[in-house]
Amino acid sequence: MLERTIKRKIKYTERQIGWIVIVPFLGILVLLLIFYINQWGNNPISYSGLLFMSLILIICLLLFFQMRISEDNEKIRISYGIGLIKKIIDIHNIERIEIVRNKLYYGLGIRIIKNGWLCNIQGLNAIELKLKNSKSIIRIGTADNKKLKKEIESKI
């Protein structure tokens, strides 16, 4: 009970904005609105269709517009968007950490890659974590992989 009342001290935090998600989704929203207002096409979009598609796009934007990485003395927290999608890694469970460069075809987002998981929202720089209790790895895309590696290594 006492542990829950003590605030955790965040040692490292990084926030990456997913422009590659934001720009196309906002562009599609604007196009939907233009098509609805002008009623273009043989079968123009209805008001309910506009609302439904806009709602889906807005939810996707809220879920994936950013990626936050934070690290304290015990955990690495990776969260997307408003924080509903997240991954928490226990630092004491890390066996090995190294700086890597993702392949372009790995893509962005939360992905299954050849030998584990990838959490990335922009760029190709990452750190790779090998966990003690797992055969797979976790790659975390970051703008400053050297700094994040140093912070995590100081806790292992």
Give the domain ranges of the chain: 19-64, 68-153
pTM of the predicted structure, to 2 decimals = 0.82
- Per-residue pLDDT reduced to its tens digit, 116-146: 999 999 889 999 999 998 888 999 999 988 9
HSE-up of 96 (CA within 13 Å, CB side)? 9
Tens of pLDDT, residue by residue over 51-89, are: 999 999 999 999 999 999 999 888 999 999 999 999 999
Please name which of 85, 90, 62 lies closest in space to residue 74, comparing C-alpha atoms. Answer: 90
